[in-house]
């Protein structure tokens, strides 16, 4: 997979879950990309495909994996990204008195789960950066 951030992200985790985070210097937005390789736990592509086999399976996956402290699921729609089954998930994160909108794109490629997140921290955030971030995800052929 390849992905373009608006600026250089910080690599935060290694192993089964590799993540990259970028909080813009002006603090208007946070970008996050998480790549989870389930093959490192012995899962096969066929097993992972079961997570997205039906709308009901997606619903269960989203509701269970998006159970974040301070968060609230607003809704989601199923779609495709680069030919992969995917979901666009709208969420809200509460931090003190502030509530930030968060948009996730979640997809699977074989045994890899890709989670992209954009958290808008200010009404002055440049949403073109969000759109470019999500549109930049590419499969490696």
Tally of domains in the chain: 1
**What pTM did the predictor assign?**
0.91
CATH number of the CATH domain containing 39: 3.40.1000.10
Give a yes or no: residue 17 inside a domain.
yes
pLDDT score at 1? 85
pLDDT one-digit tens code per residue, 8-67:
999 998 888 999 999 999 999 999 999 999 999 999 999 888 878 888 999 998 988 888
**pLDDT-derived band at 141, boundaries 50, 70, 90:** low
Q: Are 118 and 133 in contact (CB under 8 A)?
A: yes
Give a yes or no: residue 63 inside a domain.
yes
Provide the residue range defining the domain that includes 58. Answer: 11-135
Give a yes or no: residue 51 inside a domain.
yes
State how far the alpha carbon of 42 is from the alpha carbons of 36, 48, 87, 107, in Å.
13, 11, 24, 19
Give a yes or no: residue 15 inside a domain.
yes
List Cβ<8 Å contacts ≥24 apart for 8-16: 9/33, 15/40, 16/40, 16/41
Q: Are 113 and 64 in contact (CB under 8 A)?
A: no
């Amino acid at each position: 997979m390849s992905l373009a951030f608006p600026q250089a992200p910080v690599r935060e985790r290694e192993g089964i879950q590799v993540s990259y985070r970028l909080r813009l210097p002006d603090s208007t937005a946070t970008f996050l990309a998480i790549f989870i390789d389930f093959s490192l736990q012995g899962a096969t592509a066929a097993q992972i495909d079961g997570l997205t086999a039906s709308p009901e399976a997606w619903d269960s996956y989203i509701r269970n994996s998006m159970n974040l402290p301070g968060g609230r699921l607003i809704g989601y729609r199923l779609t495709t990204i680069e030919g992969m089954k995917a979901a666009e998930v709208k969420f809200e994160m509460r931090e003190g008195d502030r509530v930030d909108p968060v948009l996730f794109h979640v997809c699977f490629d074989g045994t890899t789960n890709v989670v992209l997140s954009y958290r808008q921290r200010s009404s002055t955030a440049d949403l073109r950066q969000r759109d470019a971030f999500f549109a930049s995800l590419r499969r490696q052929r």
